[in-house]
Structure 1
Amino acid sequence: MSEIVVMYELDHRVHAAPAAPGRPDTAGPRTLCGKDTFAMEKAPWKPSEHPGAPWYPAEYASTVCPDCDAGMQT
């Protein structure tokens, strides 16, 4: 899988979005669950910098989007 960008939805739900082609620090237009990333804030957390850790920051575990999490498990 290519780089993943962690995104915060306005209600603080945490989503995973594939990186834009050729731009590993920029989210593509949709999250793994299909939501538009335009109105979301990019998290400073970079999963690739935390080998063995979940794809999301631990303090947001209770607000992870279940559909994005399932997409990350495949």
Structure 2
Amino acid sequence: MSGIIVVHELDMPAPARTGKGPVHGAQAAVRRVHAAPAAPGTTTEPGPRTLCGKDTFAMEAAPRPPSGQPGSPWYAPAEAELVCSSCDAAMDDT
């Protein structure tokens, strides 16, 4: 599984500002889990597009890298319901 970065497509919460400064307590929920090839020259940064063709610019790398073990999922088991079916199908083809 080397060369694959798991990325999260996030739901951006509406900022709840009560004054100046950063929004506190706002955390974006994961909308969809995608797979992306690593950017050239790195093993930790995703390339510009996911395997399904979405732009990774506004996505965040998942905190857990793919295990690389044969037969294990490329995504965190707790995120199974959020996995992009197109990325999953592309990963099955590799």
TM over 0.5: yes
Q: Which residue of 2 aligns with 1:59?
A: 78
Moved over 6 A (4+): none
Q: What is the CA–CA distance in structure 1 between the aligned matches of 2:76 and 2:68, rounded to whole Å?
A: 10
Matches within 5 A, 1:1-74: 2-11=2-11, 12=30, 13-47=32-66, 49-52=67-70, 53-74=72-93
The answer to whether the Cα contact below 8 Å between 2:2 and 2:68 also exists between their aligned partners in 1 is no
Could you tell me how far apart the structure 2 residues matched to 1:18 and 1:2 are?
9
Q: What is the aligned-residue RMSD (CA, Å)?
A: 1.4
Task: Tell me which amino acid in the other structure corresponds to 1:6.
Answer: V
Whichever structure has more helix as a proportion of its residues is 1
Q: Distance in 1 between matches of 2:68 and 2:78?
A: 14
TM-superposed deviation, 1:51? 1.3
CA distances 1:9-67 after superposition (whole Å, capped 9, x unpaired): 013200000001110100000000000000001101111x4513200000000010000
In structure 2, distance between residues paired with 1:63 and 1:38: 19
Percent identical among aligned pairs is 60
Q: How many residues align?
A: 73
TM norm structure 2: 0.72
Q: Name whichever structure is richer in strand by fraction.
A: 1
* Alpha-carbon separation, structure 1, partners of 2:2 and 2:42: 11
Structure 1: which 5+ residue stretches go unaligned? Answer: none
Name structure 2 gaps, 5 residues minimum: 12-29
